[in-house]
Structure 1
């Protein structure tokens, strides 16, 4: 079962948020994914071998400030996948998570030409990793964001957002 839902709209967490935009992202990115999995979970548990595959984002680990709500929904989905993986550990259901970097898809209204990972490259690397038993599918270009600075996280997020702000304004 593949859960791949995402609305990525800009917001400003330093100002009042638009309720409709915030709700749409929360409903699609988080609640829609959880509800879909919930609808099929008993069926999946009756299978001898099943996989639930979540598509989160490197922004779950290193949030991008102009997309704070999107980043938060993907972080929440990562947390949910961790819990579900633990709870399903004694069943035939495997829970995997794809953690894409910035991929040139136009999500968020920016194609990222030159900075974003080409879609074809991402697909090839993700498919190769999916053939393994890895719980997280993290292509090399997303590894830095996934393995962010731990206790130095705030400084790392600030540095990442500063460099991305320059790219987004180009």
Structure 2
């Protein structure tokens, strides 16, 4: 049976880190050795410590998955510390073989990022994000008003008050 050839790719981005984002902790890899992975908490002081740790290793760019809302505070803190952040869709960072662990995931994201195989998701600028938030809130208020109006009409019908007939 012929042996499969292992394809070696050159590291294009040596100052890359990978982060497996979680709800209770973040696993950060700055290389492929087990010693190159460290777990950090999710509180503000933990995120500052994480950033300082990355900078102490000379990291200039970080890739991480956009997991729920857990990535948002980390993203802001990384940018505050001058790091380039690539926010990736999880379907592009899935690792096919072996048992899934946070350490393996962070190392896999770091490896893909060091080879420049990850592309970032679209993130709007601050003005666009504010406008989108206002538009979403307005749509929510309109839905709530509509729902309340329908409920009032329903209950009035149950009480034999037919305002819809009187108005027409």
Question: Normalising by the residue count of structure 1, what TM-score does the alignment of the two structures yield?
Answer: 0.32
Q: Mark the structure with the bigger radius of gyration.
A: 2
Structure having the larger proportion of residues in helix: 1
Structure having the larger proportion of residues in strand: 2
